[in-house]
Chains A and B, each alone.
Chain A
């Protein structure tokens, strides 16, 4: 190593030190703003597309959606939910008939917060689909909550009256029971708990079946990801 070959021998003035850092910071700031601005549209579009795909997945037969929030005692249609405001997505079929709600929910898993979206049909009190949006569960074990087709498929017609119960694999017999995954019991129970808790939180706020808000725009652009 030829240490110090290019090092200055005189002490530079404080002004020079400050200026060097200021210029470095300025250039760095411009670069970061540049990359942020240029990737933001793609990132927002990705998120919106992911959400739409998830909503359509958990609510079979749905072709349109709109964001709904609970304000002043009733469910109202919004373009975009406020930050940290609980939101559900109403799903409607081709003939603009209400099909069900896609409800974002989140709660602690085995490693970190699990964020999911589940489809809910209020008329029959059925969970009709579940999609994991975000999870850091253990690869090979806990990640079966979205890789195990049998487990995910178990949410296609699950009664949530009074609540979902996770039971040992192969022992589900009632309409509100689902087989937990062997080797991923904690993660599968976490999913069930998250759905139950979110269902309880929303149950008083959703209008009676049949009086859901009708769809406003013909093709509303989906709101920002409600995680």
Chain B
């Protein structure tokens, strides 16, 4: 039962309540840094680190933090993790850090992270909070990656910098420019909603069939 709940908290972030496709949170990094798969993954990993770290601390100290100053405390915790991620990236992978530029410090302002602290981590035991954070961050990482991959393949004919097509491929440059982000996100959201709609329809059909069967 216990493990079940952990798994449930994990999988809801990856799929059912995916922060991007279901909750439409964190749009700023989503649209800004997904012009290549590498950037998207680096951003996803940095967010993963910040979200899991903050959720762990916020949940561990949830009984000590008075609710009047909780938002300030959450932001202090988040900002500390972001600074750590910023310097670590700068020291270890200066090239990626250069590409992501101002968007690393801006993770502080990602509403997904503060949202999870306020809605989940500050109310639940540490184990569940960490599972929730891992799930949400994985969902965010997957969303960033799918957008980055689509945009890089269409816009540059490459994935992770490896050329996929021959010289005859004419890159669809708009896909790596800002409008491409909106277009890709729109199409993916459309797909997700269509899928959800179809699933509900299917479940209804099953229920109907069961009722008439008995």
**Are A24 and B94 in contact, CB atoms less than 8 angstroms apart?**
no
Q: How far is the CB of B101 from chain A (nearest CB, A)?
A: 7
Task: Kindly supply a per-residue 1/0 record for chain B positions 77-89, scoring 1 wherever the CB is within 8 Å of any chain A CB and 0 otherwise.
Answer: 1011001100110
In-complex Cβ contact of B64 among A2, A5, A20 (8 A)? A20
A140 contacts the other chain (Cβ, under 8 Å)?
A: yes
Q: Please, how many angstroms separate the alpha-carbon atoms of A223 and B169 in the complex? A: 44
Task: Kindly supply a per-residue 1/0 record for chain A positions 55-68, scoring 1 wherever the CB is within 8 Å of any chain B CB and 0 otherwise.
Answer: 00000000000000
Given contacts A21-B72, A138-B177, is CB(A28)–CB(B80) below 8 Å?
yes
**Are A140 and B72 in contact, CB atoms less than 8 angstroms apart?**
no
Task: Kindly supply a per-residue 1/0 record for chain A positions 28-46, scoring 1 wherever the CB is within 8 Å of any chain B CB and 0 otherwise.
Answer: 1001100110010011001
Q: How many residues of B contact A (CB 8 A)?
A: 35
**Are B177 and A17 in contact, CB atoms less than 8 angstroms apart?**
no
Q: How far is the CB of A115 from chain B (nearest CB, A)?
A: 11
A134 contacts the other chain (Cβ, under 8 Å)?
A: yes
A8 contacts the other chain (Cβ, under 8 Å)?
A: yes
B67 contacts the other chain (Cβ, under 8 Å)?
A: yes
**Are B83 and A1 in contact, CB atoms less than 8 angstroms apart?**
no
**Are B67 and A28 in contact, CB atoms less than 8 angstroms apart?**
no
Q: How far is the CB of B171 from chain A (nearest CB, A)?
A: 6
B44 contacts the other chain (Cβ, under 8 Å)?
A: no
List A contacts of B122 (CB < 8 A).
6
In-complex Cβ contact of B156 among A17, A20, A140 (8 A)? A140
Q: How many residues of A contact B (CB 8 A)?
A: 33
Q: How far is the CB of A205 from chain B (nearest CB, A)?
A: 30
List A contacts of B119 (CB < 8 A).
1
In-complex Cβ contact of B76 among A5, A7, A25, A42 (8 A)? A25
A50 contacts the other chain (Cβ, under 8 Å)?
A: yes
**Are A5 and B73 in contact, CB atoms less than 8 angstroms apart?**
no
**Are B87 and A36 in contact, CB atoms less than 8 angstroms apart?**
yes
Q: Please, how many angstroms separate the alpha-carbon atoms of A193 and B60 in the complex? A: 56
**Are A28 and B77 in contact, CB atoms less than 8 angstroms apart?**
yes
Extra A-B contacts (5), CB below 8 Å, given A17-B66, A134-B98? A1-B123, A4-B123, A31-B84, A42-B91, A140-B156
Residues of B whose CB lies within 8 Å of any CB of A are 35-36, 62-69, 72-73, 76-77, 79-80, 83-84, 87-88, 90-92, 94, 98, 101, 119, 122-123, 155-156, 171, 173, 176-177
